[in-house]
Amino acid sequence: MSVARASTATPPAIPINTPVLRRILVAFIRNEVRKVGVERVVLGLSGGVDSSLAAFLAAEALGPANVLGIRMPYRTSSPESLAHAELVAQATGIAIATIEITPQIDAYFERFPDATPLRRGNKMARERMTILYDHSASERALVLGTSNKTELLLGYGTLHGDMASALNPLGDLYKTQVWALSAAVGVPAPIVEKQPSADLWQGQTDEHELGFEYREVDRLLYLMVDERYEDEDLTAAGFALEFVARVRGMVQRSQFKRRLPVIAKVSARTIDRDFRYARDWGC
């Protein structure tokens, strides 16, 4: 039996309910951090909207004294990013530290002078991850993730770099939802309104690099992932088939980034296949 599809119907917009979302995410951070017997979190403060929002939510959940934001600039990082991170620290009252990554990055790439910007960017992201995890140990704090649903789905992040964390309050929010919630919780307007950038090299912006706008891809991802629209539904909703195919391909090809490494099964109980426990098992 075929189901008639109403091509003229307006597709649903991405829902957002900022007061309830804020309440749930604050409770999430408080619950998942304290459950493991920890009071504090540490996060990388890039000056971007994602980490700024995460800092605001964490400060509300745990108290600003229990949140440490670390700025980890490379020599090409924009001074504006540092200033915006400072703005967040001032607005939330969280502690802030600055750890330059230029010496170790430059020392490494002296041996590989021809390394592409992609390799350099990934190396920087992973360098920052090791700094956060080192402070996780020294500060008895969990690493708070700041990846949003859009970049997780598109694979627009560095595996074991910015994608690494103990808990992530933003991983189920599309970028446009991050913007809306950020505005609602009081993230300073210059941070919410600026062009998103990984700031791995000068002049880089997400939307230029991706080749489409967040508002456009979020709407597509929402219908594709959350509402389970098939290609014909998506084209009926006004998306070009090439765009749909490209985005679907990005989601599929980056699936490995969202999973544990593949384990060769030889025993009766293999981790995560037939040895199944919640992450909260040991809490």
Partner 1 sequence: MATTFTVGVAQIDCRLGDVEANLAEYERQLREAKGRGVDLLLFPELSLTGYFLKDMVATVALAPGSPALRRLRELSRETIAFVAGAVEETPEFRFYNAAMFFDGGELRHVHHKVYLPTYGLFDELRYLARGDRIGAFESRFGRSAMLLCEDLWHPSTAYIAAMDRALTLLVPSSSPIWGLERGEVPENAAYWQRVNAVTAEAYGMYLVYANRVGFEDGVGFWGGSEILGPSGEILARARYYEADMIVAEVNLGAVRRKRIAAPMLRDENLDLTINELTRIRGREPAGVVKAPPVEKPPVRKVAPPRTPLRTTRAKTAKPRKTVRRR
Q: Is 21 in the site for partner 1 (CB under 8 A)?
A: yes
Q: Among 9, 24, 245, 263, which residue interacts with partner 1 (rule: CB under 8 A)?
A: 24
- Binding to partner 1 by CB under 8 A, coded x per residue (else -) over 167-206, reads x---------------------------------------
Lateral strand order in the sheet of 95-98:
95-98, 67-71, 40-44, 141-143
Torsion angles phi and psi, residue 242, rounded to 5: -65, -40
Strand pairing class (95-98; 141-143): unpaired
Q: Which long-range contacts (CB under 8 A, 24 or more apart) does 160-163 make?
A: 160/126, 160/129, 161/122, 161/124, 161/125, 161/126, 161/128, 161/129, 162/44, 162/125, 162/128, 162/129, 163/257
Region binding partner 1 by CB under 8 A among candidate stretches 13-21, 67-75, 148-156, 244-252: 13-21
CA atoms of 136 and 165, how far apart (whole Å): 10
Q: How far apart are CA 234 and CA 231, in angstroms?
A: 5
Applying CB under 8 A, does 283 fall inside the site for partner 1? yes
Is 17 a binding residue for partner 1 by CB under 8 A? The answer is yes
Contacting partner 1 (CB under 8 A), which of 106, 213, 232, 280?
A: 280
Q: How far is the CB of 167 from partner 1 (least distance, A)?
A: 7
Contact positions with partner 1 (CB under 8 A) in 135-154: none
* Closer residue to partner 1 in complex, CB, 29/200: 29
Residue position matching structure tokens 């985005």: 247
Residue 15 in contact with partner 1, rule: CB under 8 A: yes
Decide whether 262 or 281 has the Cβ nearer to partner 1: 281
Rule CB under 8 A: which residues touch partner 1?
15-17, 20-21, 23-24, 27-28, 31-32, 35, 167, 275-281, 283
